Amino acid sequence: MSLNWHSDPLTRNTPVCKGYKNTQNVRRFMVEHCGTGFKFDRDFMAWIRDGATKTLGDVVDEWLRRQRGTP
C-alpha cells in the first residue's frame, strides 16, 4: 500500500519513498516540527529525493541542521 502524501497521517517515522511529494500535508508536518520559518528550497528538495533511505524525522533533523549551519 502506498502512502497518500496529501492526506495520510505523517510521523517522524514515515519513510520517504520513491513516490514522495512536497504536499501541503508535508508542509504542515514540517512547520509543526521545524517552526514557522520552514521552507523548501531546491537544494533541500534535491537532498530529500536523492534516493538515500530516510524518514521524515531525518528530513526534519537535516533542515534544522542546515539552519544551524553545522556540518
Could you read off the pLDDT of 13-45 as tens digits, one per residue?
Answer: 999 998 899 999 999 999 999 999 999 999 999
CA distance 68 to 6: 29
For residue 59, count other CB atoms closer than 10 A to its CB.
22
Range of the domain at 52: 39-71
- pTM value is 0.92
Residue 33: closest CA among 53, 11, 54? 11
50 in a structural domain: yes
Number of domains in the chain: 1
Q: Quote the pLDDT of residue 36.
A: 96
Retrieve residue 11's grid coordinates: 510521523
4 in a structural domain: no
CA distance 17 to 31: 20
Q: Quote the pLDDT of residue 1.
A: 59
Contact partners, residue 28, CB within 8 Å, separation at least 6: none
23 in a structural domain: no
Retrieve residue 61's grid coordinates: 533533523
17 in a structural domain: no
